[in-house]
Amino acid sequence: MDLYQLFKTRTPIIGVVHLLPLPTSPRWGGSLKAVVDRAEQEATALASGGVDGIIVENFFDAPFPKNQVDPAVVSAMTMLVQRIQNMVTLPVGINVLRNDARSAMAIASCVRAQFIRVNVLTGVMATDQGIIEGEAYQLLRYRRELGSDVKIFADVLVKHARPLSAVNLTTAVQDTIERGLADAVIISGWATGHPTSPEDLELASSAASGTPVFIGSGASLENIATLIQAADGVIVSSALKRHGRREQPIDPNRVSQFVEAARKGWNSKGETKSISELKLHS
């Protein structure tokens, strides 16, 4: 997948809009206007801060169903994504938690969003929702039926979960790409807000053989310069919120600071690579 074609940069920074609880979720507050207002504020803050893309997800709907969400959630997310698209010109992705990739693909295809995130595309994971099995076959068939070109960003050994069998990261990355046909892979820490391991990113990047690898959790102003050395992009949320707290709204100042730090890190990575190439050819 050509990241530049999708994001107009080869090193995209993707911010996440965590939707307030949606209708039928346990913490649904009864006001869809409040959800819309918060989503629009966060999308605007992300865009003004300089991110290259946005993922919209039903983060505050927890506890989640493990697979199919209620139709009201699909309807609300479709409307919310359209509202965000009317406010910003950035590429938009969708993640329907916990693992309703089919609904995410349907929403994205109908509103012409560019990508979806899938927590479990291949393999079997033990999660707080129970056992989740990857359904790559069904999702890829569905994308074809829809005549869609929505890209699939797939987590590998996703956070808040454990594999049922002993699977090493290299094999998991290769299976997700070669057997699951993921367009990009995401490597995370063990939970939301917990940093991705630099060593895991290096292993994943080597195994991916050119398929983009994204940092999926725990990126911050303090560690992004290190983490991005072995990644092609980053998905970030908690670090961009007021006081770095996930329940708070996005802070545009924190967004711009993070974007600046990430860009400096990538520029440094490029300069290091150029020097290495010069030495090899000298």
Domain, as residue range, for 53: 3-281
Q: Which of 180, 154, 170, 156 is nearest to 206 (CA)?
A: 170
Full-model pTM: 0.92
CB atoms within 10 A of CB 196: 27
Say if residue 275's pLDDT is above 60. no
Q: pLDDT, tens digit, for every residue of 189-229?
A: 876 767 888 999 999 999 999 999 999 998 999 999 999 99
Q: Among 4-13, 49-58, 186-195, 244-253, where is mean pLDDT lowest?
A: 186-195
Report the CATH number at residue 178. Answer: 3.20.20.390
Per-residue model confidence (pLDDT) at position 91: 98
pLDDT-based confidence at 165, cuts 50/70/90? confident
Per-residue model confidence (pLDDT) at position 280: 43
pLDDT-based confidence at 136, cuts 50/70/90? very high
Q: What is the 3-state secondary structure (H, E, C) of the chain?
A: CCHHHHHCCCCCEEEEEECCCCCCCCCCCCCHHHHHHHHHHHHHHHHHHCCCEEEEECHHHCCCCCCCCCHHHHHHHHHHHHHHHHHCCCCEEEECCCCCHHHHHHHHHHHCCCEEEECCCCCEEEECCEEEECCHHHHHHHHHHHCCCCEEEEECCCCCEEECCCCCHHHHHHHHHHCCCCCEEEECCCCCCCCCCHHHHHHHHHHHCCCCEEECCCCCCCCHHHHHHHCCEEEECHHHEHHHCCCCCECHHHHHHHHHHHHHHHHHHHHHHHHHHHHHHC
Per-residue model confidence (pLDDT) at position 270: 62
Q: pLDDT, tens digit, for every residue of 61-114?
A: 999 999 999 999 999 999 999 999 999 999 999 999 999 999 999 999 999 999
Per-residue model confidence (pLDDT) at position 282: 40
Question: Domains in the chain: how many in total?
Answer: 1
